[in-house]
A and B are shown apart, each in its own frame.
Chain A
Amino acid sequence: MSLIEIKKLIKIYSDDGVDTRALDGVSLTINDGEFVAITGASGSGKSTLLQILGCLDRSTDGSYTFEGKEVSSYSDAELARIRNEKLGFVFQSFNLLPRLSVLDNVVLPLVYAGVSKKERVERAEAMIDLVGLADRRGYQASQLSGGQKQRVAIARALVNNPKVIFADEPTGNLDSKSGAVVLEFLQMLNDQGRTLVVVTHELYVAEAARRTVHIVDGRIDSDQPVAHRRIIAKDGFIK
């Protein structure tokens, strides 16, 4: 059984009577442990696809099964639970709560999971240490640099031990050095068996993945393994 399976997925945005067909019949299967890069030009529908895969939005038509169950059959509350327990997100613009401390940001998914206070603080602190921000736990999120913010976001995405991590242009707002750190992290997570789906329009990010799905105008144009995979930890990061 595949982890993620979509068939003939269609997403139409209707804004002020103007319809935009962002996804036009996308079919795709992603298995446990994969590291998929979704590439394509700006406006091709990458983010739309990722948001639907991440249960942040619903498709207009087509089917999406996650762990063998049709997602459209879930209620909003059930979807919230799936997002909470199975999925982790990393956004281009970090999306931290700026007034809260690093720890309070990372702890959030565990709060909604109903984990006891003691345990969630322990787990969050472990994740913060993992992304190398042990000395920044008490900082306000707004006081961090872009690279640090994205590492906090990764810690937050990891803290509930999700099956899949979705990342939408995770290095898009970062300088190359911070970008390298983030990418290196993602590769490390995948090496540990975590499934990753990363949206990017940049080749060097795609090269860090194991498989690239190229999208043109809401359709899959090509879907192939990465021939010359770049291991960031070893090869470095060239922008």
Chain B
Amino acid sequence: MISFTDIGRSALMGLSSHKSRTFLTMLGIVIGILSIMVVMSLGQGANELILGEFQKFGPNNIFILPGRQPTGPSGAASTLLSDSLTQKDLSDLENPANVPEAVGVVPVVFGQQPMVYESQTYTAMILGSNQDIARLFALNISNGRFFDSNDVADRAPVAVLGATTAKELFGGNDPVGRKIRINNQILQVIGVLQTQGAGSFINFDKAVIAPYPIVQDNILGIKYFQRIVVEGSSPALVPAMIKDVTTLLRNNHNITDPSKDDFSIQTQASIAQTVGTVTSILTVLLASIAAISLVVGGVGIMNIMLVSVTERTREIGLRKALGATSGNILLQFLFEAAALTVLGGCIGVAGGIGVSWLVSFAANYWWGIAFPFVISVSGILLGVVVSGTIGLVFGIFPAWRAARKSPIEALRYE
């Protein structure tokens, strides 16, 4: 009786003496596992990235948007009411008597504008807000200072530059103390932000932030706000805060019919819900791509396995003629398929992790997107199980068919 080790040795000899066949089969398994792993890891990473962005809004805050919530195709009405948030609204919101739960109110106005320093021009976003925006978005200063409440109250013509803006306008020089011009308004640079990363809801790197009064009046020429963020102290207070804000704004805007609201309120939860729809579409899309890559990898494995069937059938016939039983043959092919699958699986998983890391690294390095490096466990499982099964089945099935033939039938197979 042939020993187990000798069958294993026969299998390894079969693999090593047919290097290109072994390589191609393994490639099929590697590609199958690698592609599904990468697709699923990237999908999961994108999900985390997008959801992470909305986590940054903080669960305590509410966002007031001007205009009517677009309902159906007639949503165009919202643009007509986009100037509904006024200075009076802001002042009233800041009054603790009206919204006692609020610990801060941050108005936001913004627009794309060319910024000029000497001969340099750079078009970027001018953001008008108050001093609390720095806390709200966790903005850190690398140089100089952020503007304070006095600057806002005094309509001080000062600006804080995003990291990219500073680089574009000033090269390597220190911008602090210098003056830039935006739409004929001179602003003195008082600070530069640290690099924040482009993944944020607002790209602060490519922005200039200034006290809102001067941005509204002298740069954008508008009287309203495009957003007002009301900061609460805990998620539990958010519903009460929404109620107070709604009452206040309806009062201010003389609205009695809630369906005629000229503002809308978003929370982290409501945004996450909207975003959840988007990411679940993304997930379905990625799963489809993953399924396709699995099929492609699987077909690759099958192909190689089936292409070598003629040669293998003769080999099986010969081995049987020399005394191998069908069981010996099946065991040898099982060994071969298992060795291929295990080795291909390890390479595939390692490669999948490598490629996923590379993508997240490249996204960070070249595009400044804080793309998280995720290893998708379900991707590994799915890839290994499916490719492994295909590898085993198509490694053994032809052998099983050939082993059932009489030795001479197998020897004569063409």
**Could you tell me which A residues sit within 8 Å of B by CB distance?**
51, 54, 56-58, 76-77, 80-81, 83-85, 89, 91, 95, 97, 99-100, 104, 108-109, 111-114, 156, 160
B319 within 8 A of A: yes
**Would A56 and B13 be within 8 Å (CB), given that A76-B326, A83-B407 are in contact?**
no
Residue from A85, A95, A99, A100 within 8 A of B323 (CB atoms): A85
Q: Find chain A residues with CB under 8 A from B408 CB.
A: 51, 56-57
A80 to B403 Cα, complex, angstroms:
12
Closest Cβ–Cβ distance, residue B393 to chain A (whole Å): 24
A-B contact pairs, 11 of them (CB 8 A): A80-B320, A81-B325, A83-B323, A85-B323, A89-B321, A95-B314, A100-B17, A108-B319, A112-B322, A113-B2, A156-B322
Neighbouring A residues of B17 by C-beta, 8 Å: 97, 99-100
Q: Which 8 residue pairs are nearest across A and B when measured between Cβ atoms?
A: A84-B323, A99-B17, A112-B323, A56-B408, A80-B325, A56-B407, A114-B1, A109-B322
Chain B stretch 301-337: residues in CB contact (< 8 A) with chain A: 314-315, 318-328
The reply to whether B319 and A112 contact each other, CB–CB distance below 8 Å, is yes
Contact of A114 among B2, B10, B318 (CB under 8 A): B2
Which residues of B pack against A, CB within 8 Å?
1-3, 6, 10, 13, 17-18, 314-315, 318-328, 406-409, 411
Find chain B residues with CB under 8 A from A85 CB: 323
Contacts A51-B408, A77-B327: A83 and B2 contacting too (C-beta < 8 A)? no
* B320 cross-chain contacts in A, Cβ below 8 A: 80, 83
Residues of B within 8 A of A80 (CB): 320, 323-325
CB distance B13 to A83 under 8 Å?
no
Which secondary structure dominates where chain B touches chain A? helix
**Chain A residues with Cβ under 8 A from B18's Cβ?**
99
Chain B's nearest CB lies how many Å from the CB of A187?
24
- Residue pair B406, A56 in contact (C-beta under 8 Å): yes
A105 to nearest B CB, angstroms? 10
- Cα A150 to Cα B297 in complex, Å, equals 42
Bound-complex Cα distance A56 to B316 (A): 13
- Can you name 18 extra interface pairs (CB under 8 A) apart from A76-B325, A108-B322, A112-B328? A54-B321, A56-B406, A56-B407, A56-B408, A77-B325, A77-B326, A80-B320, A80-B324, A85-B323, A95-B314, A95-B318, A99-B18, A100-B13, A100-B17, A109-B323, A111-B10, A112-B324, A114-B6
Residues of A within 8 A of B328 (CB): 112
Q: Which residues of B have CB within 8 Å of A76?
A: 325-326
Residues of the A chain whose Cβ atoms lie less than 8 Å from the Cβ of B322: 83-84, 89, 108-109, 112, 156
Which residue of chain A has its CB nearest to the CB of B315?
A97
Bound Cα distance from A58 to B406, whole angstroms? 8
Chain B minimum-CB-distance residue to A77:
B325
> Would B318 and A113 count as touching, CB distance under 8 A?
no
| CB within 8 Å for A104 and B13 given contacts A80-B323, A109-B322 | yes
Docked pose: A10 CA to B87 CA in angstroms? 108
Query: Roughly how many angstroms separate A84 CA and B314 CA in the complex, as a whole number?
Result: 17
CB distance from B10 to the nearest CB of A (A): 7
Cβ–Cβ contact A57 & B406, under 8 A: yes
Let me know if B2 and A112 touch, CB within 8 A.
yes
C-alpha gap A57/B17 in the complex (Å)? 29
Bound: A95/B413 CA distance, A: 12
Are A111 and B2 also in contact (CB < 8 A) when A76-B326, A77-B327 are? yes
Contact A81 B315 (CB under 8 A): no
A76 to B406, CA, bound (A): 9
B392 to chain A, nearest CB (A): 23
A155 to B2, CA, bound (A): 20
Cα A56 to Cα B315 in complex, Å, equals 14
Smallest CB-CB separation from A108: which chain B residue? B322
Closest to A117 in B: B6
Query: How far is it, in angstroms, between the C-alpha of A87 and the C-alpha of B406 when the chains are bound?
Result: 16
In the bound complex, what is the Cα–Cα distance between A91 and B410 (angstroms)?
Answer: 14
Query: With A and B bound together, what is the CA distance between A77 and B406 in angstroms?
Result: 12
A111 CB to closest chain B CB, in angstroms?
A: 5
Whether B321 pairs with A111 at a CB distance below 8 angstroms is: no
Closest to B326 in A: A76
B323 contact set on A, CB distance < 8 A: 80-81, 83-85, 109, 112-113, 160
CA gap between A100 and B16 in the complex, in Å: 10
Contacts of B315 in A (CB 8 A): 97
Q: Taking the nearest CB of chain A, how far is it from the CB of B34, in angstroms?
A: 29
Nearest-CB residue, chain B, relative to A52: B408
**A106–B10 alpha-carbon span in the complex (Å):** 14
| Shortest distance between the CB of B327 and any CB in chain A (Å) | 7
Complex CA gap A84/B409 in Å reads: 18
Query: A98–B180 Cα gap in the complex (Å)?
Result: 80
The complex places the Cα of A204 from the Cα of B212 at a distance, in Å, of: 111
List chain B residues, Cβ under 8 A from A114: 1-3, 6
Q: In chain A, what residue has the closest Cβ to B1?
A: A114
CA distance A84 to B328 in the complex (A): 13
B233 to chain A, nearest CB (A): 76
CA distance A139 to B235 in the complex (A): 79
Closest approach, in angstroms, between the C-beta of A103 and any C-beta of chain B?
12
Q: How far is the CA of A199 from the CA of B411 in the complex (A)?
A: 17
**Residues of the B chain whose Cβ atoms lie less than 8 Å from the Cβ of A84:** 322-323
Instruction: State the CA gap A100–B315 with chains docked (Å).
Output: 11
Identify the closest chain B residue to A80 (Cβ). Answer: B325
Q: How far is the CA of A91 from the CA of B321 in the complex (A)?
A: 11
Contacts of B321 in A (CB 8 A): 54, 56, 83, 89, 95
Cα separation A225 to B386 with both chains bound (whole Å): 64
Nearest A-chain residue to B323, judged by Cβ: A84
What's the nearest-Cβ distance from chain A to residue B164, in Å? 61
- Which residue of chain B has its CB nearest to the CB of A55? B407
